[in-house]
Amino acid sequence: MTLGSASTSDAAAAAPPLPHPTRRNGYWLTFQLMLRLVFTVWLRYRARGVENIPPEGGGLIVCNHQSFLDPLLIGLPLSRPVSFLARDSLFPLPLIGRVLRKTYVMPISREAARTATIRRAVARMDHGFLVGMFPEGTRCRAGEVGRFKSGIAALVRRAAVPVYPVAIAGAHEALPRGLWWLRRRNVTIVFGDPLPPELVERYSRRGEEERLAALARERIIALHAEAEAWRQRLS
């Protein structure tokens, strides 16, 4: 055995086992019940299209990014966990770090190689997890759907999983940048049908990445318009 292969084996052995991909732990169940009460009463939180997310099997959820609330808003109505990525600098923080670790969040280092992040996310999807990502890469201040980065294709190409578009409306008003308390604003979320698998397969090939990002963005813009119209009717 070479030194390189020994190091690889040691790293694999040291990696903690992945949690169950469709069964939420007790910590997340309790957290979910608390959030559901707060969000439903304070934010008049509503979700539709949840039936479009299957009860099992790996998949990639792509969503517009409005607020730090977004991962919670996506996971709240689902009966299975979603793994998101978060900066590794958050994990040493006593309370936040514990919440992140207990709610299936994967640490990501801005200094680490991009391929390491992709491998971690693909391993989760191969294990049967839903992995969530925000292709805009940052929160949009005005609530619009920004430009998508093409990194979505790298994940789909390696994992060959369905892609589920989701859109959130109102989170940018409930918890905008720079604010650390919830304002009373209506928040709605719409889970859409999976993107056409034949187009996902075609556009995830090398050289076609921008077309997959454009396809996902076009669908999420339509879902966002639906979510925003629904939100306005609740006002």
Rounded to whole angstroms, how far apart are CA atoms 68 and 76?
A: 14
Rounded to whole angstroms, how far apart are CA atoms 185 and 167?
A: 17
Q: Is 169 exposed, middle or buried (0-12, 13-18, 19+ CB in 10 A)?
A: buried
Q: How far is CA 47 from the centre of its chain?
A: 16
Residue 10 in domain: no
Residue 151 in domain: yes
Looking at the structure of the chain, the number of domains it has is: 1
SS3 228: helix
Residue 7 in domain: no
pLDDT at 93 (0 to 100): 82
Residue 137 in domain: yes
Confidence class of residue 3 from pLDDT cuts 50, 70 and 90? very low
pLDDT at 111 (0 to 100): 60
**Residue 212 CB partners (closer than 8 Å, separation 6+):** 150, 152, 153, 156, 199, 200, 203, 204
> At 166, which CATH number?
3.40.1130.10
Residue 98 in domain: yes
Q: Which residues constitute the domain of residue 170?
A: 29-234
Mind listing the pLDDT tens digit for each residue in 103-151? Answer: 888 887 766 557 888 888 999 999 999 999 999 988 887 889 999 988 8
pLDDT at 112 (0 to 100): 58
Residue 1 in domain: no
Residue 141 in domain: yes
Helix (H) or strand (E) holding 145: none
Residue 19 in domain: no
Helix (H) or strand (E) holding 93: none
This prediction's pTM = 0.88
